[in-house]
């Protein structure tokens, strides 16, 4: 976005006209009576030996505000587009939009507007296990990431997608049903006797087998008591 001279701030883009060139740089008319200076070092990313190799008087140029002197109002300009994010502006926990620029076995590099692309390690792509980066992202993808760390000295930026999403809650494991105690010898004998009675046949026989079942139970109880006395 191109700003007007009256509302300029650092990194703002503005159009102007070159009104003078010197050995040290060029003077640009920004309109509304405001002038800015482009140092020779800010004419290009590549070294420039002569200002006239890049600019001449009367040229219309797009420039960015590099700094504004609060004491005298002098405006320093640059023709090199500034970074969207300086190292001092990168903070842990920042959420940024970026573009995946490259994949490696260990993760992906993401352009976020800083001096260096940030590293999105494969372990930071999801709460689930990710075997290969290409299973989640591919070059050219526009993604949102969170800054985990930014080390200016090492020129490293660590990013995460996982940190943007809450960790899934593990479902509780179903409780095991309590095991029934094993039947005693008396219960086993009683069940056998009852099963034999049920298989006996018609109603009269069932009446008879009831007495037999009772006799069996009495016999089992008697033998159990006798064993306990011994």
The pLDDT of residue 32 is 84
CATH match of 5-78 with 2.40.50.140: yes
User: Mean per-residue pLDDT for 4-12?
Assistant: 77
221 Cβ neighbours under 8 A, 6+ residues apart: none
Predicted confidence band of residue 199 (pLDDT cuts 50, 70, 90) = low
Using a cut of 0.85, tell me whether the model's pTM lies above it.
no
Q: Is the pLDDT of residue 77 over 60?
A: yes
Looking at the predicted structure, is the pLDDT value of residue 223 above 90?
no
Residues 26-41: pLDDT tens digits? 999 999 889 999 999 9
- Give the burial class of 53: count Cβ atoms within 10 A of its Cβ; 0-12 exposed, 13-18 middle, 19 or more buried: exposed
Residues 84 and 99: their CA atoms lie apart, in Å, by 14
pLDDT over 60 (residue 201): no
Q: 172 is written with which tokens?
A: 């509780």
Whether CATH 2.40.50.140 fits 87-164 = yes
pLDDT of residue 194: 74
Q: Which of 58, 62, 21, 24 is nearest to 40 (CA)?
A: 24
Question: How distant, in Å, are the alpha carbons of 103, 115, 166, 192 from that of 106?
Answer: 8, 21, 23, 68
pLDDT, average across residues 137-151: 97
- What pLDDT was estimated at residue 115? 92
Angle made by CA atoms 169, 160, 85, in degrees to the nearest 5: 145
CATH 2.40.50.140 residue ranges of the chain are: 5-78, 87-164
Say if residue 212's pLDDT is above 80: no
Does the structure show a pLDDT above 80 at 44? yes
> Which one has a higher pLDDT value, 36 or 216?
36
| Mean pLDDT lowest among 51-55, 129-133, 182-186 | 182-186
DSSP 153: T
pLDDT cut 90: percent of the chain above it: 62
Residue 207 has a pLDDT of: 53
Query: Which of 162, 142, 144 is CA-nearest to residue 100?
Result: 142
Residues contacting 117, CB < 8 A, separation 6+:
98, 101, 102, 109, 110, 111, 157
Higher pLDDT, 43 or 71: 43
> What is the predicted pLDDT for the residue at 92?
95
């Amino acid at each position: 976005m191109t700003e007007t001279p009256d509302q300029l701030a650092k990194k703002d883009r503005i159009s102007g006209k070159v009104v003078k060139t010197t050995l040290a740089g060029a003077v640009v008319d920004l309109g509304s009576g405001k002038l800015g200076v482009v140092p020779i070092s800010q004419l290009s990313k590549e070294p420039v030996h002569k200002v006239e190799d890049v600019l001449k008087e009367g040229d219309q140029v797009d420039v960015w505000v590099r700094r504004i002197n609060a004491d005298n109002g002098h405006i320093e300009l640059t023709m090199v587009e500034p970074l969207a994010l300086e190292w001092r502006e990168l903070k842990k926990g920042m959420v940024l939009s970026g573009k995946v620029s490259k994949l490696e076995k260990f993760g992906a590099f993401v352009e976020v507007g800083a001096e260096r692309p940030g590293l999105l390690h494969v372990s930071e792509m999801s709460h689930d296990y990710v075997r290969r980066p290409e299973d989640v992202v591919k070059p050219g993808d526009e993604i949102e990431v969170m800054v985990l760390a930014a080390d200016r000295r090492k020129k490293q930026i660590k990013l995460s997608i996982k940190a943007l999403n809450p960790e899934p809650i593990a479902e509780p494991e179903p409780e095991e049903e309590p095991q029934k105690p094993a039947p005693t010898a008396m219960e086993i004998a009683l069940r056998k006797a009852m099963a034999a009675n049920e298989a006996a046949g018609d109603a009269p026989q069932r009446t008879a087998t009831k007495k037999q079942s009772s006799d069996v139970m009495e016999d089992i109880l008697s033998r159990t008591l006798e064993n306990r006395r011994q």
